[in-house]
Amino acid sequence: MSSIFSKIAQGEIPCYKVAEDDRYFAFLDINPIAKGHTLVIPKKEVDYLFDVDAQTLSGLWLFAQKVAKAQQAALPCKRIGVAVLGLEVPHAHIHLIPLNSEADVDFKKPKLELEKEEFAAIAESIRARHTA
C-alpha cells in the first residue's frame, strides 16, 4: 500500500505543489508552523530518512536546496530552517521552514490556519521562483 505522501506525489491526493522532478516532490505542509512550510520527499517510498539509499538521499538534499532558494526568494524570511521528524508519516521527508526567529521552528505551537487561497498563492509564489 502506498503512503499518503506517495499518493500526493502521484496526484491521487490533492496538495499545494511547490516543485517536482522525476525523483522528488515538494509540497506545502497542510499544518504549517510558518508560512511557506514545505515538505520535500523522494518519490521512492522509504519510511526513515536515514534508511534512504545514499544516491537518493544526496539527490534529495540537492533538490531541497533549490526549493529552499525559491522559498527564500518568495517569502520574507532570514533563513530556511531544516527539520527531520518523521514521527507521523512513514515516508521520508525533510521540513523546510522559513524562519525569522527561533520561535518559528517550534512544532508544539498551534499550527497556522490559512485559507485555501493563501496556500495556493504561497505555493505559486515559490513555484514561480524555482529553477529546475
Active site residues: 93
Q: Which residues make up the interface to ligand AMP (CB under 6 A)?
A: 4, 15, 29-31, 39, 85-89
CB closer to ligand AMP, 31 vs 58: 31
Spatial contact of 36 and 75, defined as CB atoms under 8 Å apart: yes
What's the CA dihedral at 90, 96, 99, 104 to 10 degrees?
-10
Q: What DSSP letter does each residue of 44-92 carry, written as one string?
A: S--SSGGGS-HHHHHHHHHHHHHHHHHHHHHS--SEEEEE---SS-SS-
CB of 84 to ligand AMP, least distance (A): 7
CB of 85 to ligand AMP, least distance (A): 3
CB of 93 to ligand AMP, least distance (A): 6
CB closer to ligand AMP, 31 vs 100: 31
CB closer to ligand AMP, 5 vs 63: 5
